[in-house]
């Protein structure tokens, strides 16, 4: 067993990042995110706080206009309403804790960005 779950729970998907839900309540959602190189969560700005802790790999985390290079041990916290996104440079594993969990409407920009292959949405 690894430090944050059984190794058998590790799941990568060749098409898009994979999120394994560890806990979900009205107050928070905790997921393990698994990214292959180049996979991402598109930049979006839901009404929830998020704390992202990287366990393995490297990549970037967008926090508003700032871009953080991340590696094992990196923690980035983004407040509700501020844009955020994650992109892996290598295979990347991270815990993402959102509070409160974003609703379905907040996931629409994420689904659209993944479908279009766009990390950074176009600004009008």
Name the β-bridge partners of 33: 19, 94
Q: Which domains does the chain show, CATH number per domain?
A: 7-101 (2.60.120.10)
CA distance 72 to 43: 21
Contacts of 10 (CB under 8 A, 6+ apart): 2, 32, 34, 93
Name the β-bridge partners of 78: 50
Print pLDDT tens along the chain (124 aa). 344 454 545 565 567 789 999 999 999 999 999 999 999 999 999 999 999 999 999 999 999 999 999 999 999 999 999 999 999 999 999 999 999 998 777 777 787 888 888 888 765 4
CA distance 19 to 34: 6
């Amino acid at each position: 067993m690894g430090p944050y779950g059984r190794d058998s729970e590790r799941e990568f998907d060749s098409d898009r990042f994979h999120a394994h839900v560890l806990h979900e309540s009205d107050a928070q959602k905790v997921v393990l995110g698994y990214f292959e190189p180049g996979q991402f969560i598109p930049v979006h700005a839901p009404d929830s706080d998020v704390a992202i802790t990287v366990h393995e790999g490297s990549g970037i985390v967008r926090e508003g206009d700032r871009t953080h290079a991340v590696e094992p041990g990196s923690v980035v916290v983004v407040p509700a309403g501020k844009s955020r996104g994650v992109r892996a440079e290598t295979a990347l594993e991270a815990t993402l804790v959102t509070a409160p969990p974003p609703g379905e409407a907040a996931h629409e920009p994420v689904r659209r960005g993944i479908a279009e292959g766009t990390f950074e949405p176009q600004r009008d």
